[in-house]
Structures are given as C-alpha cells and as structure tokens.
Amino acid sequence: MARHFDVLVIGAGSAGSVIASRLSEDETCKVGVIEAGHVPSDPAIADPLKWTMLQGRDYDWAYRTVPQPYTANRIHEWPRGRIVGGSSCLHAMAYVRGHPSDFDAWKEAGGEHWSYQGLLPGFIRSEAFTAFDAPTRGRSGPLDVFLPDDEVSPVVRAYIAAGNALGIPPLTDHNSGELIGTTPNSLNIRNGRRLSVADAYLTADVLARKNLTLLTGYEVEHLAMEGDRAAAAVCVVDGVTQRVSADRVVVCAGAVSTPLILMRSGIGDPAVLKQAGIDCISERGEVGANLQDHLLALGNVYRSKKPVPPSRLQHSESLMYLNSENLSDSSGAPDIVLGCVVAPSAAEGLSAPAYGAAYTILCGVTHPTSRGRILLGGPGSNDRPIIDPHYLETDHDRLTFRKALKIAREVGRQPALDEWRGAEALPGLDVQSDAELDAFIAKAASTHHHPAGTCRMGMDQDAVVNSDLRLNGIDNVYIVDASVIPEIPSGPINAAVVAIAETWAALNRA
Ligand SMILES: Cc1cc2nc3c(=O)[nH]c(=O)nc-3n(C[C@H](O)[C@H](O)[C@H](O)COP(=O)(O)OP(=O)(O)OC[C@H]3O[C@@H](n4cnc5c(N)ncnc54)[C@H](O)[C@@H]3O)c2cc1C
C-alpha cells in the first residue's frame, strides 16, 4: 500500500533534518522524510580531522563539473552527502552566519523574513553557543557551535598575529554581527566529534516520535504531477519503484539534486527538458540557473622551518574575512577571504611538500558575480547531470582573486610568521606578474563546497520559488535548502541553510 503523509520531506540533509524535526513537534502532523542514503555507519565521519578523506566514499554523490575554461579547463569534483545528515556529514564544520548585509539581497528577493533580522530568531533557535553571552546568540538550540581556544594551532596563532600586524582587527568570532577580522573558526563540534545537522536535530528522541517516519534508501526519481499539484514522489528503493504521497511536499535535496528532481518531473525550461527527453508540464525557465559557489585557491603553500604540529581541530582553523581596499576597515561586508590550513593544501596537479613540513594560506572571493547552471544529462536519476558553474567567468571575480592572492602573500611574509616560514612552495617566487598570478589561480582555484541558488526565491515572475518558498505554478510543493538562496553570503553557507529551514518551519507549522 502506498504511504501517505501530511508533509513529505525529500532529503534528510542540513535543511531536511531541521524541517522534519521542527514540523513533527506538532503531534497532529504526520511527517515522512525520504532519503536516498542511509544512517551513517562510517566512524571516520565523526572525526573532525578526517573530513577531507570522506570524499568519494559510498555516501558521496560525487558530482563533477564540466571542464571550466577559466580554471585551466579543469573538471572540479563536487562532493555532496548521500546520507542522513547530507552534506553536513562531509563538511568542514566551519560555522559562519555571513555578514548581516549579505541578507539585504534576500530581503529584496523575498521580504522581511529573509533579512538578517528576520533570520536572526532562526539562527538563535538553532544554536547552542556557550563561549560568551550575547543577545544575538542562542544557548540552548540543538546545534553546538564551538569556539576553540587552547586547541588552536600555534601556526594559526602566528597567522592571526600576522593579520593583526597588517592592521586587520581581532574579532571575537565570526557570528556576532561583524565578519571582517581575525578569529579562529567557530565549529559544529561536540566533545571533539563532528555534529552533523542530523546528529543535532534527528536525535533518537525525535526519531521515536510516532508521527515521524524516516525512510532511508529511497531515491526520488521525480514527482508525479496531477494538474497543479504533486500527487506523489516516485522513488527507487532497492531497484523497485515506489510511490510516497503527501498533502504537502518539501524538497530539501540540496542545490544540485533539487533542480534535477524538478526537471525530471517536467518542471523547468522547455528547451532544456526537451534536450533531456522530458516533456515540460510546468514552464519555469530558471530551474537550475543562478548557480553560485565560492572558490578557494589551494594555495599559497609555505615550507615550514620546523615540523608543523598536527591540527587538533579540522586542519583549516581560521577563515579571515577582509576588505581588500582597506585592511583595517571592519565596518562592512568583506570582499575577500583568507584561510590558514595546518597542512600543505594544493589543488590536484600542483605539487606540495609533505604533510607536517608545510602550512597553507588559502584565498578566495566572498561575493563572486559569475553565475552557472545545472542541466539534466538525461531523463533518469542515473544520468550524470551537467554542472557548469562558469567559474571565474567575470572580470570582477578574476581581479578580486588576484588581489586576494597578493594579500595572502602579504600576510604570509609578516615577521609574525618568521618562526615557521621557510621558502614559499606555491605559487613559488618566480610567480610575480599579474599574468603569472592569474595563471596560478586558474590552476589552484578549487570549490569551497558552497553551491547555492539553483531555485532562487524572488517576488518576480521568473523566480523559481516565491517568498513562502512555494514552487511557483505548483500548489503544494515547497523548496527549503541551499537552492533557494538568491545571492550567496560571504562565508560557508550551512549556518544560513539551517536558519532558512528554522525560519520556514516556524512560519509553516500548523
Ligand atoms: C566537503 C564539504 C565541505 C563543506 N564545508 C562547509 C563548512 O565548513 N561550513 C559550511 O557552512 N558549509 C560547508 N559545506 C557546505 C554545506 O555542507 C552545505 O551547504 C549544506 O549542507 C547544504 O544543505 P542542504 O540541506 O541544502 O543539502 P544537503 O545537506 O546536501 O542535503 C540534501 C539531502 O538530500 C538527499 N537527496 C538528494 N537527492 C535525493 C533524491 N533524489 N532522493 C532522496 N534524497 C535525495 C541527499 O542525499 C542529502 O541527504 C561543505 C560541503 C562539503 C561537501
């Protein structure tokens, strides 16, 4: 017999875990969550130091981009979690809300709920932050936000001092309303272990609720549409097709999978759908468009004069957000980011010293203006999608990146790092002219893993979802995940995704 729920959540990742947990607080609401992956069983997931090793394991969707002309024609690996907890089981655990002004564009797109002030109750509700008290911080939410102190690497301490010597101000943490400055990263770590969003929200107590059902190993092929409504999610379970129906469907499959599910359901740009062999039943030209991501250049690598002690956190311990025009101005939103990794971190194809013999200063652009697109590679869920982020396509992105690399090197050569700094291994001292720097960036730029925006919210008729995050043109389908983000915020986006889900759930509880 087909299962039926009041609300069906597709995807138990960052957003889906929040939605399922919050909506099922109402005992009268029968909530189903379907997830292609399974409950985590790999012990490496919980170990913060192992996060880079998880990519490519059987709980990674392991997407890949098409070759990118402005990054030396490279194909970029895009890991995404296929597991309960989604990409928060693979992520680097950095917790950064973004700069308050990042959300001005969201307010313009969707109204007051999506401004920083509108999202603030969601940020607060989600957080368990105890390092200090502040009215804008949550103490008793499900998601631990840990601000390290003694655990911070001495190399990172020296990099922070190097930034301060250049006039970059110290910052208490990334999430107190200002973003520019030096601070260790805040992390989703509890008692030394990764805390995925599912660990935080889909606890044993929550999963024991009689009105909540988690179905794992259910891969949604498409939504079966009847007129203006989704009648059911059509899933493949152990090779067998099953239908799961609901009054309301909330798609939380993430910025790559959500537009793919819509397109396979006949919702999208008719020309794109036709090419993939799918009939269009609801014309929505922007499904899959507006793709945004952050890049980091891996990296400005330095040999170390003495052995680099292993990180006690997650290697990449301190993102430093900056105004490249005035390093001591902390008043607004940043335009570039640096990061200190307590290890050699080089893009594929670049050679770096051995682990323990080097450290890295990463750099990147916080507000890229290049926009890409995701297309179907064919009609079925086994057809590889065509992911084209259009990396570094705009002059803005390439010029800002060049500034970021110059500033990374300036930080790297400060006396505060004398104790550690040996020779510069990458880009290497022969790389000096703008053309040489650009050529290095093209080879070194790698995803910071923040794809977003592929089902953007907006009040205009071309937007994919409206300000309630309801899919335009369809009555009972909502999208709540990284794909609705109209413009990518300055930093890593998991905190913002959780706040979107908290906010939507608060507005949509019965
Ligand atoms: C390697 C890596 C490092 C990162 N580092 C950071 C960081 O340090 N800080 C930070 O803030 N962010 C980081 N991110 C990004 C962050 O994890 C994501 O932005 C966030 O988890 C996205 O949440 P989401 O709910 O949109 O999607 P996801 O968490 O990806 O959830 C989508 C869920 O839907 C499921 N799903 C997809 N398709 C289907 C289908 N057809 N049927 C059924 N289920 C489906 C997936 O299996 C998954 O569980 C990182 C990401 C990665 C991969």
Contact 229, 474 (CB under 8 A): yes
Contact 496, 94 (CB under 8 A): no
Taking the centre of ligand 1 as the mean of its atom positions, its distance from the CA of residue 510, in whole angstroms, is 27
CA gap 402, 407 in Å, rounded = 9
pLDDT tens per residue across span 272-329: 999 999 999 999 999 999 999 999 999 899 999 999 999 999 999 999 999 999 999 9
What does the pLDDT read at residue 423?
97
What does the pLDDT read at residue 1?
60
Task: Return the structure tokens found at 53.
Answer: 């090793």
What does the pLDDT read at residue 48?
98
Instruction: Read off the amino acid at residue 109.
Output: A
**Pocket probe mutation, ligand 1, options 95, 449, 484, max atoms within 8 Å of Cβ:** 449
CA gap 87, 295 in Å, rounded = 17
Beta bridge partners of 31: 7, 212
Task: Return the structure tokens found at 108.
Answer: 């313009």
Beta bridge partners of 338: 320, 363
Q: Respond yes or no: is residue 222 known to be catalytic.
A: no
What does the pLDDT read at residue 509?
82
pLDDT tens per residue across span 23-75: 999 999 999 999 999 999 999 999 999 999 999 999 999 999 999 999 999 99
Q: How confident is the model at residue 402 (pLDDT cuts 50, 70, 90)?
A: very high
Average pLDDT for 382-393: 97
The residue contributing the CA closest to ligand 1 atom 50 is 91
Atom of ligand 1 lying closest to residue 55 CA: 1
Q: Is 489 in the pocket of ligand 1 (CB under 6 A)?
A: no
Average pLDDT for 389-410: 98
What does the pLDDT read at residue 2?
74
Q: Is 184 in the pocket of ligand 1 (CB under 6 A)?
A: no
The residue contributing the CA closest to ligand 1 atom 51 is 91
* Residue 262, H or E segment: helix 254-264
pLDDT tens per residue across span 69-120: 999 999 999 999 999 999 999 999 999 999 999 999 999 999 999 999 999 9
**Exposed, middle or buried, 298 (CB in 10 Å: 0-12/13-18/19+)?**
buried
Q: Kindly tell me the number of DSSP H helices and DSSP E strands found in the chain.
A: 11, 23
Q: Is 425 in the pocket of ligand 1 (CB under 6 A)?
A: no
Q: If we measure between CA atoms, which residue out of 433, 370, 372, 405 comes closest to residue 297? A: 405
What does the pLDDT read at residue 412?
98
Atom of ligand 1 lying closest to residue 481 CA: 26
